[in-house]
């Protein structure tokens, strides 16, 4: 006899995090993924739907049609600089969208995992454990703090995960990330300016997927920091990429944040403590070399 399939709604399932979840999906689980733009998704282990989470009627209709076992809410505008410049649109996407998803989940009594960020911290007192006080330095971080509050104050059965800077192969339809951007620039022989005053322990999207599945299986509650096992600044991150991918590291130019006066403020050091991730989820943080080597071994082929 076939066992029961557990269905998880993943909003923003075509993004980098959603792709990591798709690639690590355990047997017996099904992903229904939402995105908003009208494109087809190839080479995916999820079922995909086009639906804008700002549309409350459509969200309610979706929940009425599908009895979800869990929800991972990752959709929204995730670019720090885009949020800074397009605040009204970002409020609708991140606040209204989150309200629509959380209220439908509350009425259906579904366990929800909200995907937040390291940008909730000011970056002055790293390393950060889950109970550290939040104090965002940009509009994106402030929106995410509001969404965390909305989740915590309206739902009973929830977890909040805060992934740190993520790297990995994105779906070609979605935005690049610092790793794919650096790889592509170096492969074209272009110089890349990288700052040495923004510091994190970057997270491989495949490991992020594994941590989310561990969380879903346990229906764990509370806040979880998800990060890698190695702390680097962005310049060191670029050097490690060049080394693992065999690219020309002399094209990497070390600068500080004053070289980019027009972008949103970044918290300087948001390195995470990953004790909860390893002890409670059973996912020990992967080193940057391990993550990049896995990425290299699974390089996407350009058509």
Give the binding site for ligand NAP (CB under 6 A): 11-12, 14-18, 34-37, 52-54, 74-76, 78, 93, 97, 115, 117, 163, 165-166, 174-175, 177
Shortest Å distance, C-beta 150 to ligand NAP: 13
Shortest Å distance, C-beta 166 to ligand NAP: 4
Shortest Å distance, C-beta 248 to ligand NAP: 25
**Residue closest to ligand NAP, measured at CB:** 15
DSSP string, 173-185: TS---HHHHHHHH
Shortest Å distance, C-beta 121 to ligand NAP: 12
Compare residues 130 and 251 and give the one whose CB is closer to ligand NAP: 130
Shortest Å distance, C-beta 73 to ligand NAP: 8
| Residue 43 structure tokens | 């080479």
Q: How far is the C-alpha of 237 from the C-alpha of 61, rounded, in Å?
A: 44
The secondary element (H helix, E strand) that includes residue 243 is helix 234-245
Compare residues 43 and 248 and give the one whose CB is closer to ligand NAP: 43
Contacts of 44 (CB under 8 A, 6+ apart): 14, 22, 33, 171
Contacts of 27 (CB under 8 A, 6+ apart): none
Shortest Å distance, C-beta 19 to ligand NAP: 7
| Residue 162 structure tokens | 């805060």
Describe the chain by its helix, strand, coil percentages, rounded to 5: 40, 20, 40
DSSP string, 112-165: EEEE--GGGS-SSSPSBPTTSPP--SSHHHHHHHHHHHHHHHH-SSEEEEEE-S
């Amino acid at each position: 006899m076939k066992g029961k399939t557990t269905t998880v709604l993943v909003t923003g399932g075509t993004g980098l995090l959603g792709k990591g979840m798709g690639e690590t999906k355990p047997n017996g689980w099904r992903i229904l993924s939402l995105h908003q733009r009208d494109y087809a998704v190839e080479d995916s282990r999820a079922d995909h739907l086009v639906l804008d989470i700002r549309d409350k009627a459509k969200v309610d209709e979706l929940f009425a049609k599908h009895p979800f076992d869990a929800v991972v809410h990752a959709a929204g505008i995730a670019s720090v600089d885009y949020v800074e410049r397009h605040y009204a649109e970002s409020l609708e996407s991140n606040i209204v969208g989150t309200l629509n998803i959380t209220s439908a989940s509350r009425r259906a009594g579904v366990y929800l995992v909200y995907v937040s960020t390291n940008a909730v911290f000011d970056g002055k007192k790293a390393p950060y454990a889950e109970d550290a006080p939040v104090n965002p330095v940009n509009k994106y971080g402030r929106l995410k703090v509001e969404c965390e509050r909305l989740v915590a104050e309206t739902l009973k059965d929830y977890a909040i995960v805060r992934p740190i800077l993520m790297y990995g192969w994105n779906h070609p339809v979605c935005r690049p990330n610092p790793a794919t951007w650096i790889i592509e620039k170096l492969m074209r022989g272009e110089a890349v300016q990288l700052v040495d005053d923004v510091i994190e322990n970057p997270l491989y999207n495949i490991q992020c997927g594994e941590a989310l599945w561990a969380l879903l299986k346990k229906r764990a509650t509370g806040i979880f920091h998800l990060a890698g096992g190695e702390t680097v600044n962005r310049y060191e991150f670029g050097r490690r990429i060049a080394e693992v991918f065999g690219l020309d590291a002399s094209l990497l130019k070390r600068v500080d944040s004053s070289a980019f006066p027009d972008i949103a403020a970044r918290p300087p050091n948001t390195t995470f403590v990953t004790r909860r991730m390893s002890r409670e989820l059973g996912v020990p943080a992967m080193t940057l070399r391990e993550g990049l080597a896995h990425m290299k071994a699974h390089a996407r082929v350009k058509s």
